[in-house]
Structure 1
Amino acid sequence: MWEISMFSVVFVEPENPGNVGAVARSMKNFAFRELILVNPKCDPLSKEAKALAMHAKDILESARIRKDLSFLSEFDLVIGSTGILADKYSTERSTVSPKQLKSILKNSKGKKAILIGRESTGLSNDELSLCDIVVHIPTSRGYPVMNASHALTVILYEISDLEEGEEKLASPEMKQRLCKEFSELVDKLDFMKPEQVKAMFKRVIGRSAIRIKEASALIGFMVKVKDRL
């Protein structure tokens, strides 16, 4: 499990003090501590901001203010968010869901920044191009864009890893064993393009959040099938 202390929330040009307070409150709900405000267009210490923050006023008071995003070089991984789905030609808006993000981050290390954009227009394409990963939350097509603080709450919930009794994920070594067993099984079967099938399976397993029990069951199944061929 990663350290929550390695995450910073970056709110780019917030326009509404109430949203700044709501962001701070959401952060405290999930034990995230560092808030960075980039060129804020409102007073983050106003009465409205503090009222919405409730018991997270300390996060507001300790928030760092930056003029631009040049400081992102301090981070090993930058995660952006967008309410607009990518079209097939867009590289800036190629997105993952919050659940997929959690899987990607499982074994990651280093400092991470989570960027949320201004309430009116979100993050620009130029800002998204600075991100290593862009998150999109699936919502109703009739009204797809979420409030910045609400979107952050969903993201923080998914990655906080506070769920009790969660099953452990299969290690990279176990995934390699699973791919090896599958490869040997394919070699015994009459596939027209065996190497392509192996490569596809390897890609699927590589990006999956497969659990130890699931991987073990699949390995056992493949071994038995091979023995019967």
Structure 2
Amino acid sequence: MLYHSEVLTVLKVVVIGIEGEINMGFIVRLCKNFDVDELAIVNPQIDPWSEEVRRFAAKGVDYLYSSRVKVYNTLDDALKNVSISACTSGVVSIEGIDILRRAIELDEFVNIAVRYDDVAIVFGRESVGLTRDEIAKCDLLVHIAANPEYPILNLSHAIGIVLYALYKAFKKSSVLDKIDKASEEQLHILDRYIDELATIVSSNEFQKELFTISLKRLFRRTLLSRSEVGLLITFIRRIYSKIKKEESTA
């Protein structure tokens, strides 16, 4: 389940008429990667639990045998109790004449999705995508920006892109959250050494200010760990000491 602003969001991936076992395996793996609550398979054309599917699911195979993977006969059944649904298509109406194929960009959908508790994203067949009737059953049509000369993405690739965007938007935990981040005290010490180094590198006050501001902003924008800041402090301190020593012996 995905969390945002203290609200629990249930995310469902709906795949209609899947035709390829390899794609099915990759999709299962992606659903585990991004902690999808339910993978709804509508009228599959292959065995979702075949040996080939299991092989390409890799270490996500346990997801395949969990209660999260469900098979439905119709899209209507798969979309029951969903607050908002969106389907994806590489074929959209550029001029907006075909209202049914009037799409929004993925970023816009993500901004909408974060307001709902139950979200479903619907994907079509590898060969022909979604029918017009299936598109009409969804609340929104989403387009993933790609090269206009070849905008049709592989099914599992499209699912991966959408899930990543939703995962980030809902502020799901990341392995990077476990990094031992540098403290403000450490960063202030680093700032002091940057100031001291800038003082001996340049006598021009304006240039010195540019040096210090640029470096301080650079380090603030970077997710530095405690050990990384420690190494930077040691590095700058040694440069400072070496320059001062050379100045004293000159």
TM superposition score normalised by structure 1: 0.66
Does residue 95 of the first structure (1) align with residue 95 of the second (2)?
no
> Cα offset for 1:46?
1.0
Of 68, 80, 93, the residue aligned with 2:74 is 68
> Cα offset for 1:4?
6.7
* Cα distance in 1, alignment partners of residues 125 and 8 from structure 2: 24
> Cα offset for 1:129?
0.6
Quick check: 1:4–1:160 contact (8 Å CA) kept in 2? no
Specify whether residues 44 and 132 from structure 1 end up closer, same or farther in structure 2 by C-alpha distance, changes over 3 A only.
same
* Cα distance in 1, alignment partners of residues 143 and 132 from structure 2: 14
How many residues align structurally? 164
- Matched letter for residue 49 of structure 2: L
1:86 maps to which residue?
93
Computed over aligned residues only, the root mean square deviation of the Cα atoms, in angstroms, reads 2.0
Identity of aligned residues (%): 30
Specify whether residues 58 and 25 from structure 1 end up closer, same or farther in structure 2 by C-alpha distance, changes over 3 A only.
same
Unaligned runs of 5+ in 1: 166-229
TM superposition score normalised by structure 2: 0.61
> Cα offset for 1:59?
2.5
> Cα offset for 1:5?
5.3
Deviation string for 1:78-109 (max 9, x for gaps)? Answer: 11111112242112211112211111123x12
* Cα distance in 1, alignment partners of residues 24 and 8 from structure 2: 20
Does residue 142 of the first structure (1) align with residue 149 of the second (2)?
yes
Of 2, 10, 14, the residue aligned with 2:14 is 10
Unaligned runs of 5+ in 2: 177-250
- Matched letter for residue 145 of structure 2: P
* Cα distance in 2, alignment partners of residues 59 and 66 from structure 1: 18
Quick check: 2:17–2:125 contact (8 Å CA) kept in 1? yes
Specify whether residues 48 and 4 from structure 1 end up closer, same or farther in structure 2 by C-alpha distance, changes over 3 A only.
farther
1:96-115, aligned counterparts within 5 Å? 96-106=104-114, 108-115=115-122
Quick check: 1:4–1:32 contact (8 Å CA) kept in 2? no
Instruction: Tell me whether 37-46 or 91-100 shows the greater mean CA deviation.
Output: 91-100
